[in-house]
């Protein structure tokens, strides 16, 4: 919360300054990061549409030894879901994650969307994924720009236009 104090100072000739006010707003400590996807022991509650295989993989990982491989079927029909409600009322501000395009020659596209308890969707706008020779990308979704987010994240959906690995999903 807010805190303030007043003070004066004296110069070399012992003249006193006018009263000044020092104000500060003390924010609560940020919450500890919440890991919601490392895929070390399976798919961590992430599910896929029947036509979209999403499986645990050891081919690439940014954290640990496993990731989630999302296998594309056709453009934008490739969706994976996280359906476990998360309480985000503790000052969480972002969801971060690592993604890696499996293709060595084809560009991909990757987008993350979240839905809150009121049914409001918010997304990160998506980003082009360069072929894997360019390396993995760290991405995020700024929760403070999701105007309708009411504190409970109900669902996370990932779209991809090509095969991609997903790992190290953290709410911060």
**pLDDT tens-digit profile of 86-131?**
877 777 888 888 888 887 777 777 777 787 777 777 877 777 777 7
Whole-angstrom distance, CA of residue 157 vs CA of residue 78? 10
68 contacts 42 by C-beta, under 8 angstroms: no
The pTM of this model reads 0.73
The confidence score (pLDDT) of residue 5 equals 95
The confidence score (pLDDT) of residue 76 equals 52
> What are residue 133's phi and psi, to 5 degrees?
-60, -20
38-76 tens-digit pLDDT? 999 998 888 876 556 788 999 999 999 999 988 876 655
């Amino acid at each position: 919360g807010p805190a303030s104090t007043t003070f004066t100072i004296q110069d070399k000739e012992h003249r006193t300054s006018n009263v000044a006010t020092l104000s500060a707003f003390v924010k609560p400590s940020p919450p500890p990061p919440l890991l919601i996807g490392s895929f070390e022991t399976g798919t961590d509650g992430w599910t896929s549409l029947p036509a979209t295989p999403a499986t645990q993989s050891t081919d690439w990982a940014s954290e640990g030894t496993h990731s989630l491989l999302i296998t594309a079927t056709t453009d934008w029909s490739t969706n994976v879901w996280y359906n476990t409600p998360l309480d985000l009322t503790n000052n969480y501000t972002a969801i971060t994650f690592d993604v890696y395009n499996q293709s060595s020659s084809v560009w991909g596209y990757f987008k993350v969307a979240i839905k809150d308890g009121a049914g409001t969707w918010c997304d990160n706008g998506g980003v082009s994924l360069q072929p894997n020779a360019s390396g993995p990308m760290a991405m995020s979704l700024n929760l403070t720009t999701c105007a309708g987010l009411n504190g409970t994240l109900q669902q996370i959906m990932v779209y991809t236009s090509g095969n991609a690995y997903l790992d190290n999903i953290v709410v911060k």
